[in-house]
Each structure stands twice: as structure tokens, then as C-alpha cells.
Amino acid sequence: MKLAFSTLGVPGMPVADVIRLAVEHGYQGVELRAHPEEPVHPGLSSAERADVADEFKRGGVEILTVAGYVRVAAEGDDQPVLEELAGLVELARDLGASNVRVFPGGNGLDPDTADANAARRLGAAAPHAADLGVRILLETHDSHRAGAAVARVVGTVGHRQVGALWDIMHTWLAGEEPVASHAVLAPHLGYVQVKDIASADDLTPLPLGAGVLPLRACLDTLDPDSWVCWEYEKRWHPAAADLPGLLSAGRDHLLRLGAPKE
């Protein structure tokens, strides 16, 4: 198992400190939140992008994903969505990241319309992503919480550069068992985001293993060389404990859960 953490857990932290945390606590990669309030975002110049890529390379830490906020199923014109998505793909290429994360964002729409919007836009973006060697991953989230919903869209696109990101909290909130989520997502799966919470009514992030999410059942479905990313949502819950002090224990917990069974 290869481990990463999301910079959503350390909002605004400088790149050098993110790399130091990954190295000190035994994480091989980082999921970079790409937003203007963060150090890394699509507004960076070419020189700034090169500097970030060089820092990560020198630190020996992989940029697993550029985590953007494009909502590919949302109502509206296609062109602004496609332009924003192209910008994220180009940022990922420049940073040496393998993936771009996108959201569905089809809440309030008829499910068939939301599916069609997402599939059409992802299909249009796929050739550019393929040219740049970047994979676009649609996360189980908001209007498409269940693995079955994301798999339906990604399967319709049918392009190798469009895949799925499995956020286990959202599939659990959708009432989907991990074995069922994995069964539909496996042909498209980029990697898994793990986290822990107290209940469906309290989404405040907890240390891994301290909550109710089925972490072991999820990890049991994965191949041994899979990427697993801890998305600790400190940005949305500022009163939660700070992530840096939890990273080593979280790494150890994931490695125990993912260890081969005797």
C-alpha cells in the first residue's frame, strides 16, 4: 500500500512544510488541494509550477493528484467547465501529478441529465488529458455519492484517462457496502480516499480508527500496491485536531489494516 495525505488537512501550508510532513511521517505522496487560497493553484506561472515540481522531486514525495473543484455534472454551459478542467489538467502535467480530481456537482438536476452532462464533458476533456498523460478522476461525492453512480458515468465515457476516485465516506453515506462499491468502481479506480467520522450526523474529522467508517472492509478489497489517501477535512472543520500530530498514528493504523491476513 502506498500512502498519501490531502493538503485539505493542512490548509494554506507552504509546499516545503507539506513535503517535510510527508517525509517525516512516512507518506509517499500528497494530494494537493488546488484553490486560490492554497500555495498551488492554476494561477501559478510556469516558473512557479517548475519550482513546486522541483521541490517535490528533491523531497522524494509524489504529487498524486491535483484536487480541483470542477463540477462536471452541474447545470450550465459546457465551455466554462471544459476550460477550467483543461487548466487543472495542464497544472497537473506541469507539476508531474498523475491525476486531477473533479466533483459531480449535479445536485438538483434530474439524474439522467446530470449523468449526461458529466459524461459529455468528461468525454470531451479526455483526449487533452491523454495527450498530457493525466487521468481525470470523478469522485464519489454530492449528487453521485454511490460507487454505482460514478461507475455509471465513467463507464459511459469509456476512456482510459477518465476514472473514479472512491471517497469511502460518501459511499457509506449512500448506504453502499464496501464490497459493492469496489465491485463497480474497480474497473475504473484511480485510488481511495479514507477518513473517519463519528456518525452520519457529525462529519467532523476524527483520527483514523476512532469513528464509524468501514476502513478495514474497504482496504480488504484493494490490491496491495494501491494508493490510499487520507483526506482529513480540517479546512471545513477548523475546531478539529491538527492533522500533523495525527499523521504517524494514521499511517500505522492504515498499514495494520492493510497487512496481509494470516
Q: What is the DSSP letter of 261?
A: P
pLDDT for the residue 93: 98
H or E element that contains 100: strand 99-103
Residues 6+ apart with CB under 8 A from 88: 34, 42, 66, 68, 70, 100, 102
List, in order of start, the domains of the chain with CATH numbers: 2-258 (3.20.20.150)
H or E element that contains 172: helix 168-173
Bridge partners for 31 per DSSP: 6, 65
pLDDT for the residue 262: 54
Inter-residue contact 129 to 100 (CB < 8 Å) = yes
Query: Rounded distance, CA 165 to CA 162, Å?
Result: 10
Q: What are phi and psi of 69, to 5 degrees?
A: -125, 25
Inter-residue contact 185 to 221 (CB < 8 Å) = no
3-state SS, residue 92 = helix
3-state SS, residue 194 = strand
Grid cell digits, residue 201:
450526523
Grid cell digits, residue 190:
484511480
Bridge partners for 230 per DSSP: 5, 194
Ranges of residues in the chain with a pLDDT under 50 are: none
Query: Against a cut of 0.95, is the pTM above it?
Result: yes
